[in-house]
Structure 1
Amino acid sequence: MPQGPPYRPQNVRFFDQLSLAAVRSAVSNSRHFLRLTLSKWQAAFIEDDALLIASELVTNAITATGILTESPTWGELEKLNLVHVRLVGLEDSIVIEVWDVSEQVPMLREADDDAEGGRGLLLVRQLARRWGFYATAGGKVVWAELAVRPPQPTPLPQREKSARTTARPYVLPGVGFPTGGLRPDVSRLIDTPASSGQKALRAIRLFAGLADPVSHRLGHRPVADFATWTFTAPVG
């Protein structure tokens, strides 16, 4: 039987341990212990696999050394054994260890399709990065190692690009900015009475592309002369 755990003591970052009576309720108690410990270590994202592995290992330990009856006798309780569940945190993995008093080597065996049991270690082998066992004073430890991989963030949905026109805006001769759709045959604006302040405000709106130059009547000035106009704030 192999000797020693699958890790070096100096590589252990943290650990926690629970001792349980080798009875059927130890399985559910070990699950609660693992759930709380993984949450404390911020490793709850491996909880499902860890709970399945621990349940199988503790069940095997109770089957080998404990009491499976729901109502044990006093004579059975006087000889009650213990099982120890330990969780060891390493750099990039977590090791689940279950100790019992049996020295029998665990065997990985293929279960028949109709068999009710025997698949425990097969499940452990599928879920764990690796697994094994080693001898200790007065018994053995069966262990399984789970890789710690934080969940990948879900990418945000990509917004579909809207179809955009590739037509370039028309630029009037002598004016260095787009006209926002001004028709090229419009060279002068229709005359209408307006104060100088109104002319200036409408000219600024025209330059910013906020107004349709055809819908505003700014006087006898050619479009090319707009840049030379002096802004005069309206009075009142």
Structure 2
Amino acid sequence: MKNRLSKAQAAYEDAVENVSDLHVKISDGNTKLGAIPSVSLIPVMDCGNCAICAKSCYDLRNDFIYKEVIKTRAINSAIYHEDPERYFKEIDGYLNYRYPRAFRFHIGGDIQDKWYLDKMCEIARKHKDTKFLAFTKMFDVCNEYLDEGNVIPENMHILFSGWLGLKMDNRHGFPEAHPIFESGTSAPEGTLLCTGNCTECLKEDRLCWSIGKGQAIGFLAH
């Protein structure tokens, strides 16, 4: 794991040196998401609340075995940290061009701060026909955003991402997602079980794409 993060750090530093010549990389999908586009940052390095889950990070274990994945995540991270306005402008440009039915934020990485969350919401309001999905452990950022009177658009589905032993302040009743381990789970009673097929759930408008306040999704840890 440390070796993969070291490679990501090196790729990030290379990207920073050439950031003006680079562009945000949007994935057209993967085996789990199907044909649902997504934008990602670097796992752990761009996750502000991952101390408890970093060693078991699925993205780091399963996606960071590919050099191209490390490179594209590093490029996105460099663009965001060096020129955050351009980062979101290029995501907006992709959405204007492709008009996807759905879009996922952060297979790797997480919401960075309230400004970042506000830009996500701004994009969702502009692209009303696209459903957006994001899982986050940045509970404080989301809570404070709503505490200040901000509103998250209906087409922006944000799920609080739980973990065994992780304290979650969910005072605004965000939908939740919890991994289910052989040793136990943080999922509450009545949790719905993930089917493992994001595209099918999108077609049928269920689970993560339609889950409401106070509800939870559980997925088998892998």
TM-score (ref. length: structure 1): 0.23
Between structure 1 and structure 2, the one with the greater Rg is 1
Choose between structure 1 and 2 for higher RCO, CA contacts under 8 A separated by at least 6 residues: 2
TM-score (ref. length: structure 2): 0.25
